[in-house]
Amino acid sequence: MKRHVILLSGLLLAATGPVVAQTAPFPTIGQVVRVDPRLDKLIPADAKVEVLASGFVWTEGPIWMKDQACLLFSDVPQNTIYKWTDKEGVTPFLKPSGYTGVGPYSDEPGSNGLTIDRQGRLIACEHGDRRVTAMPLNGSGGKRTLADNFNGKRFNSPNDVVAHSSGSYYFTDPPYGMPKKEKDPGRETDGWGVYRIAPERAGFPGAVSIVVSDLTRPNGIALSPDEKIVYVAQSDPLRPVVMAYPLQADGSVGKGRVVFGAEGMKKLGLEGGFDGMKVDRDGNLYVTGGGGVLVLSASGNTLGFIKIGAATANCAWGDDGSTLYITSDMYLCRIRTFAKGW
């Protein structure tokens, strides 16, 4: 288990294992770095990054549940999905969340990216079981597999997923949940892809197709507000890019373009690859990487950087759509914004 010691507004906080639920007023961390005046319309001048809970191993996949006014998020190494509410703080929601087998798999066996589909089901990328699943949240049924292979070959470790209004799903499949070996005998696919699951028919999961096959570490994924573009963030530190692919009528994607890459990171003095991301209603991108969340315009201009100072995995809109919840290393955080998620 990793051990971290980070200064939070004068409080020395060390993660040694147990989850620490904070209480209001919440401690704060990091700062908002303003690069473009347009950021002032998205994030208030006095906005702070609040730490809602800490002591996790590696937080990921936040998603807001409107009907229950709560946030769900993964702790991947702990094989657990947690729930957070303003009143109750953090409570376990689902364990195991991504690995139901016997014996060791890797040090990141649990669920990673989460989303809610048009049916109100929890859609999860599961590392250990190497699949994408759907689970009703109203108690109407159990978890079911949407996809666990492509052409008979098992996925590596599905990482992040987004649901399209058509009923299809797009997800990424890098190797991070696999055992840390160059030549892992359990690996079946030849590369790291971005896949599409077609809409379900007559109760059966849709067909799986690969839509992007030339990225070395596809990771975060998001849709533009009009669902005409699918964004993919790459976590390869040797080629950190945020790509945009036009969606075709049949669900496939067209030729991709680079929205943001290594040069943009270099100008900000940041290093590393990108992880998860979300988009607001105006098309601005919120991309995790470099120890925080990059705020980019739809055209890829840097508007600002929400600096946390710890490896940052993902983010999600919550509350009335203007709160950005952030999973960063051992922390669950949030920042109030003027922007609106969708």
* Residue pLDDT, tens place only, 130-170: 999 999 998 778 899 999 999 999 999 999 999 999 999 99
Residue among 41, 55, 46 nearest 8 (CA):
55
For the segment 259-272, what is each residue's pLDDT rounded down to a tens digit?
Answer: 999 999 999 999 99
Is the predicted pLDDT of residue 22 greater than 90, yes or no?
no
What confidence score (pLDDT) does residue 18 get? 65
- CATH homologous superfamily of 4-336: TolB, C-terminal domain (2.120.10.30)
For the segment 212-236, what is each residue's pLDDT rounded down to a tens digit?
Answer: 999 999 999 999 999 999 999 999 9
Strand order of the β-sheet with 285-289 is 31-34, 302-307, 292-296, 285-289, 274-279
DSSP 267: H
Other Cβ atoms within 10 Å of 162 Cβ, number: 24
Average pLDDT in the chain? 92
Q: Sign of torsion, CA 9 12 14 18?
A: negative
In the chain, where are the structural domains located?
A: 4-336
Q: How confident is the model at residue 289 (pLDDT cuts 50, 70, 90)?
A: very high
Is the predicted pLDDT of residue 339 greater than 80, yes or no?
yes
Range 120-139 average pLDDT: 95
What confidence score (pLDDT) does residue 15 get? 43
Q: Does residue 77 contact residue 313 with C-beta atoms inside 8 Å?
A: no
Return the bridge partners of 161, or none: 171
DSSP 338: S
Alpha helices per DSSP H over the chain: 262-268
Is the predicted pLDDT of residue 318 greater than 90, yes or no?
yes
Is the predicted pLDDT of residue 9 greater than 50, yes or no?
no
CA distances (Å), 148 to each of 10, 129, 185, in order? Answer: 46, 8, 17
Number of alpha carbons in the 13 Å side-chain half-sphere of residue 138: 6
Return the bridge partners of 89, or none: 85
For the segment 291-312, what is each residue's pLDDT rounded down to a tens digit?
Answer: 999 999 999 999 999 999 999 9
Q: How confident is the model at residue 19 (pLDDT cuts 50, 70, 90)?
A: confident
CA distances (Å), 166 to each of 89, 146, 190, 281, 337, in order? Answer: 34, 15, 29, 19, 29
Please give the model's pTM, rounded to 2 decimal places.
0.93
Burial of 299 (0-12, 13-18, 19+ CB in 10 A): exposed
Nearest 5°: the CA angle 88, 94, 98 is 140
Q: Sign of torsion, CA 332 337 339 340?
A: positive
